[in-house]
Structure 1
């Protein structure tokens, strides 16, 4: 660089009074949140936190059911009495009952699959010896017929039988697509096992549990590969953390957008 160029550069770098020019300082950032991000945060953060808590409680409930299944199911068998009992007193316990099957009030639960084949679960009431109380026995799965409008015939042992198995409590939230009362005849095919509706239609008292017949039992059983309770609590815990991370991200974005330079 020659002398004239150096001089020109020096002249450019200095102000008129001999000082060096500097760019003007940026105004400081101040926290002044806008109303729209604030409204979004107020609405979304509690929603995300509540969704996370719901998933967290679901995981805890599933863990408790799994614990009950493993603990109670390994104990000695409890005799099902001829008097009505609370469902929770028998849930996931090994139970036994003695009585006679009543095939006239037997039902087939539709849309049940086994190894990718459609069929039915056979549920038969057992009249417990010593009274008029019944308990429903899930005797297992049978295949459907090629003619979908036909119902398969089911063999049922006559006389006194001894049944044993695991007591389960059926669900209670169903959506029924049709009235299963039909023309007054007993409805053999049901979409689901609604215990209250069954007792109302059958006209006799029923214990609030269903006995899943043991695979080793000879009391008129069919295919019995019983599933364990749906234990997917790790998935629920993952969902909980995901919802809570959404809440944290929303707060972070609200803070970031709230710091603005004063104009």
Structure 2
């Protein structure tokens, strides 16, 4: 027999909730509401990132050969630099999807002319072979180049265990500040965001999930919480 924890009479109805459903609602309802507001906060954060990105990406390019100590305040600013690629030591950033195809983003070190500093360049996307063991060949660029792109500081994401490969190019699963520091790169990348002779298919975006998706998820959480609330009262309200 179900145990009623309270009985409230009003008009011709009686509200008699039982213990277990009441405990479930007490736990789930605040959680669902919290998740809804959390998704709204995430959406607002994505909108702010997009706003900053669009404002900075149209600024005057920063000459990376002349300016040292680029800090986080220059994130998403255009950059320009002169030098040459280190063709022998490229990285393949795995599991990148373009037009429903799996591929890699090509990351190649770039050596500045006047300072011999290494800046990692995201050159864009190429498809992965059907045979995953087959590593794609990256055409070398031996000439001195002037390249343009966006200055991007990677997020402090979870660091996956990297594949222990001896041959180049090496496959990696993530890019974060520790990776750049460990490989003696500058703390930022230059992302080629337009099609150039020295790049592949541009793929990089400042955010992976648009703000509208977060707002849609928030709406779903709020609908679930409202449905739970209505269902709980509907089950436990009886006519006298």
**Alignment TM-score, normalising by the size of structure 1:** 0.69
Residue among 166, 189, 194 paired with 1:210: 189
Residue among 199, 215, 223 paired with 2:181: 199
Runs of 5+ consecutive residues of structure 1 not aligned to the other structure? 1-26
Contact (CA 8 Å) 2:180, 2:187: kept in 1 or not?
no
Cα distance in 2, alignment partners of residues 247 and 148 from structure 1: 44
Q: CA deviation at 1:137?
A: 0.9
Mapping 1:126-205, distance limit 5 Å? 126-144=110-128, 148-174=132-158, 176=160, 179-183=162-166, 188-200=170-182, 202=183, 204=184
Q: Quickly say closer, same or farther: Cα 1:227–1:188, change in 2 above 3 A.
A: same
Cα distance in 2, alignment partners of residues 164 and 30 from structure 1: 72
Q: CA deviation at 1:224?
A: 3.3
* 2:200 counterpart of 1:222: yes
Cα distance in 2, alignment partners of residues 260 and 145 from structure 1: 64
Secondary structure of the structure 1 residue equivalent to 2:188: strand
What is the CA deviation profile of residues 7-52 of structure 1, one whole-angstrom value per residue up to 9, with x for unaligned ones? Answer: xxxxxxxxxxxxxxxxxxxx96455543233212211111011110
Q: CA deviation at 1:174?
A: 4.8
Cα distance in 1, alignment partners of residues 99 and 29 from structure 2: 44
Secondary structure of the structure 2 residue equivalent to 1:207: coil
Q: CA deviation at 1:56?
A: 0.6
User: Which range moved further: 121-130 or 110-119?
Assistant: 110-119
Secondary structure of the structure 2 residue equivalent to 1:70: helix
Contact (CA 8 Å) 1:49, 1:247: kept in 2 or not?
yes
Q: CA deviation at 1:253?
A: 4.1
* 2:65 counterpart of 1:94: no
Residue among 225, 233, 237 paired with 2:211: 233
Cα distance in 1, alignment partners of residues 48 and 83 from structure 2: 33
Q: CA deviation at 1:75?
A: 1.9
Cα distance in 1, alignment partners of residues 88 and 40 from structure 2: 45
* 2:48 counterpart of 1:69: no
Give the CA RMSD over aligned residues: 3.3
Cα distance in 1, alignment partners of residues 29 and 117 from structure 2: 52
Runs of 5+ consecutive residues of structure 2 not aligned to the other structure? 1-10
**Structure 1 match to 2:3:** none
**Structure 2 match to 1:49:** 33
Secondary structure of the structure 2 residue equivalent to 1:97: strand
Q: Quickly say closer, same or farther: Cα 1:251–1:115, change in 2 above 3 A.
A: closer
* 2:70 counterpart of 1:85: yes
What is the CA deviation profile of residues 141-185 of structure 1, one whole-angstrom value per residue up to 9, with x for unaligned ones? Answer: 345557653333323333532111123344543574x643435x6
The size of the alignment, in residue pairs, is 229
